[in-house]
Amino acid sequence: MSAPLWPAPTASAPVHATVSLPGSKSVTNRALLLAALADGPGVVRLALRSRDSDLMADALRALGATMTSSNESPSGSDWAVTPGPVVGGARIDVGLAGTVMRFVPPMAALADGVVSFDGDPHARKRPMGTILAALRALGAEVRGDALPFTVRGPLSGGEVTLDASGSSQFLSGLLLTAARFDKGVTVRHAGPPIPSQPHILMTVAMLREFGVQVDDSEPDVWRVEPGPIRAREFTVEPDLSNAAPFLSAAMVTGGSVTVPGWPAETTQPGDQLRQLLTDMGASVERTPDGLRVTGTGRVSGIEADLRDVAELTPTIAALAALADSPSRISGVAHIRGHETDRLAALVAEINGLGGDANETDDGLEIRPRPLRGGVFHSYADHRMATAGAVIGLAVPGVEVEDIATTGKTLPEFASMWADMLRGAR
């Protein structure tokens, strides 16, 4: 049975809206994991509730933590987390969540017993070999090189060299649990540049906020000292990457969208939207109400290396498909291993609507061409679905397949989109 089609609303007037985003997926899943590894009970406030974060909570529970949520609201929940001894015997469903499949196995290696992992059909195609080999090198018994696989600890930690050019999550995953290994961990990266650097800075910053000693002073080497992860209360920032389609709506329709609670300083890669959207023709300002993006209705093409902010590629590509000059996106070869092969998917869907896009070795070239309506396939990828919604604002007759797939990180996407547009149609 094919997934239902969602008629993407076309904006007939400029959008003027304030859009509050729930918590960051990346921060939520790090905070939940660190809370579950901590030296006492803690609280994670304003945590995202979505498929990826609920899978993380389920995984932590299966490994022995007590997880209780309260204050459920559209902006998130508060999780009371009581760590327990990490237990084997669990079967963990990672869904399609990179943060669950790469962050939880090192924690599972603290258990004296087998933990098995599996996920969605496409999750079995996502790269895992690098982190599984690293766990093996550190002393865990690992069966398999991709999902499904099993991990059996315990491991004592120590030094390991890996190539994290395929995903920053290989490195983040090891670092997040490392303080709990008897010898801590020293990880060396050897290979082409690591993508999504802000996510590594996020890992290091959050480890320090939980009292862990991390030395990242030498390029491509990270040393985590063994020691306690300190229990605390932690409040999650709004998800700035999920702000991307909403801020894009201001650009495409010549309106303005304000996102409240935009942090003054953050390690989230979505903060770089301020520069990227400016480069594409928006004006961006911090106001007392939040970050405001105002557009003219015209979008300029962009030449951008998105290696550091790879997860923004689908939205930037959607804007580029509506732009009045050519775009070239580079530095993102590794997103072929994201929720789907995003380079192939973006080319297929943009060209399927009459556009003119092609893949390069490490990115995309997109040239202006009038688009027409049609089905925009989402490949179970939340950011493909929201990219289709952005194009649909300007192109009548776009139907996005399986809009519910946005539940991976933003279950309320369709109603938030409708609310945003209510004043505009």
Chosen from ligand PEP, ligand S3P, none, partner binding at 97 (C-beta under 5 to 8 Å by type): ligand PEP
Cβ proximity to ligand S3P: between 311 and 341 the closer is 311
Cβ 34 vs Cβ 207: under 8 Å: yes
List binders of ligand PEP among 75-104 (CB under 6 A). 97-99
173 by DSSP, 3-state: which? Answer: helix
Stretch that binds ligand S3P, among 147-155, 162-170, 219-227, 343-351 (CB under 6 A): 162-170
State how far Cα 318 lies from the chain centre.
18
Q: How would you class 352 by CB atoms within 10 Å of its CB: exposed for 0-12, middle for 13-18, buried for 19 or more? A: middle
For the bound state, the minimum distance from the C-beta of residue 310 to ligand S3P, rounded and expressed in Å, comes to 4
Between strands 158-162 and 214-215, the pairing is: unpaired
For the bound state, the minimum distance from the C-beta of residue 62 to ligand PEP, rounded and expressed in Å, comes to 19
Which residue has 């079967």 as its token pair?
Answer: 91
Name residue 38's amino acid.
Answer: A
Selected from 311, 349, 362, 401, the binder of ligand PEP by CB under 6 A is 311
| Number of shown-chain residues binding ligand S3P (CB under 6 A) | 12
Regarding 362 and contact with ligand S3P (CB under 6 A), the answer is: no
Cβ proximity to ligand S3P: between 151 and 310 the closer is 310
Which residue has 């998105």 as its token pair?
Answer: 306
For the bound state, the minimum distance from the C-beta of residue 311 to ligand S3P, rounded and expressed in Å, comes to 4
Cβ 2 vs Cβ 412: under 8 Å: no
Task: Judge whether 122 is annotated as a binding position.
Answer: no
**What string of DSSP letters covers 321-378?**
HT-SS-EEEES-GGGGGSSS-HHHHHHHHHHHTT-EEEEETTEEEEE------EEE--
Cβ proximity to ligand PEP: between 99 and 294 the closer is 99
Beta bridge partners of 6: 400
Selected from 35, 338, 364, 378, the binder of ligand PEP by CB under 6 A is 338
Alpha-carbon separation of residue 304 from 137, 385, 388, 411 (angstroms):
37, 22, 21, 30
Give the burial string for 94-110 (b: 16+ CB within 10 Å, else e).
bbbbbbbbbbbbbbbbb
Task: Judge whether 303 is annotated as a binding position.
Answer: no
Is 311 catalytic? The answer is yes
List binders of ligand S3P among 112-141 (CB under 6 A). none
Regarding 383 and contact with ligand PEP (CB under 6 A), the answer is: yes
Q: Is the dihedral of CA 324, 393, 287, 203 positive or negative?
A: negative
Task: Judge whether 311 is annotated as a binding position.
Answer: yes
Name residue 36's amino acid.
Answer: A
Task: Give the alpha-carbon dihedral of 210, 212, 217, 221, to 10 degrees.
Answer: -110
Chosen from ligand PEP, ligand S3P, none, partner binding at 340 (C-beta under 5 to 8 Å by type): none
Task: Judge whether 422 is annotated as a binding position.
Answer: no
For the bound state, the minimum distance from the C-beta of residue 383 to ligand PEP, rounded and expressed in Å, comes to 5
Q: What count of other Cβ atoms lies within 10 Å of the Cβ of residue 190?
A: 10
Cβ proximity to ligand S3P: between 35 and 398 the closer is 35
For the bound state, the minimum distance from the C-beta of residue 190 to ligand PEP, rounded and expressed in Å, comes to 22
Chosen from ligand S3P, ligand PEP, none, partner binding at 321 (C-beta under 5 to 8 Å by type): none
47 Cβ neighbours under 8 A, 6+ residues apart: 23, 28, 31, 32, 53, 69, 76, 77, 78, 79, 236
Active-site position among 218, 265, 285, 311: 311
For the bound state, the minimum distance from the C-beta of residue 193 to ligand PEP, rounded and expressed in Å, comes to 17
Cβ 48 vs Cβ 22: under 8 Å: yes
Cβ proximity to ligand S3P: between 182 and 305 the closer is 305
Cβ proximity to ligand S3P: between 25 and 152 the closer is 25
Q: Kindly write out the interface string for residues 333-352 of this chain, putting x where it contacts ligand S3P by CB under 6 A and - elsewhere.
A: --------------------
Regarding 167 and contact with ligand S3P (CB under 6 A), the answer is: yes
Reference 53, options 239, 240, 315; nearest CA is 239
Task: Judge whether 98 is annotated as a binding position.
Answer: yes
For the bound state, the minimum distance from the C-beta of residue 176 to ligand S3P, rounded and expressed in Å, comes to 9
By CB under 6 A, name the binding residues for ligand S3P. Answer: 26, 98-99, 167-169, 172, 195-196, 199, 310-311
Residues within the interface to ligand PEP (CB under 6 A): 97-99, 311, 338-339, 383, 409
Catalytic residues: 311
* Binding positions: 25-26, 30, 98, 126, 167-169, 196, 311, 338, 342, 383, 408
